[in-house]
Amino acid sequence: MIDEPAPFCTKWYSKKHNGPGLRYEVCVSIKLGNIVAYNGPFPCGSNPDITIFRKILKGKLMPGERVIADRGYRGDSKTFTPDQFTSTQHKRAMSLIRARHETLNGILKN
């Protein structure tokens, strides 16, 4: 969340916070849990997650390399999203990986 910029502009609006905000892309290593890249800040309203991914990170991935992401990244060939996981074991493993990232988000926010 950020203070309301003046004059009012919808490009800053975050549905999550019901007010103005900034969005960052934080990339975490699956193997070690380290931050390996970040991008931002971006105004919330005019930059959904998938747009930020396509602007920067997607072009830096090596051929055949993909990322694990939440449902906000659906529809891109370079992402694995929860609706693509078929087995219960695979779903659980991917859920644990995403949970590690969410824990990191909580640390970064404070």
C-alpha angle with apex 60: 57 to 36, nearest 5 degrees?
65
Predicted confidence at residue 109, as pLDDT, reads 62
The pTM assigned to this predicted structure is: 0.73
Rounded distance between C-alpha atoms, residue 45 and residue 73, angstroms: 16
Predicted confidence at residue 110, as pLDDT, reads 54
Predicted confidence at residue 8, as pLDDT, reads 80
Structure tokens at 38: 């970040």
Answer whether the bond into residue 20 is a cis peptide, omega within 30°. Answer: no
Q: Which residues of the chain have pLDDT under 70?
A: 101, 104-110
Predicted confidence at residue 59, as pLDDT, reads 92
Structure tokens at 78: 């370079």
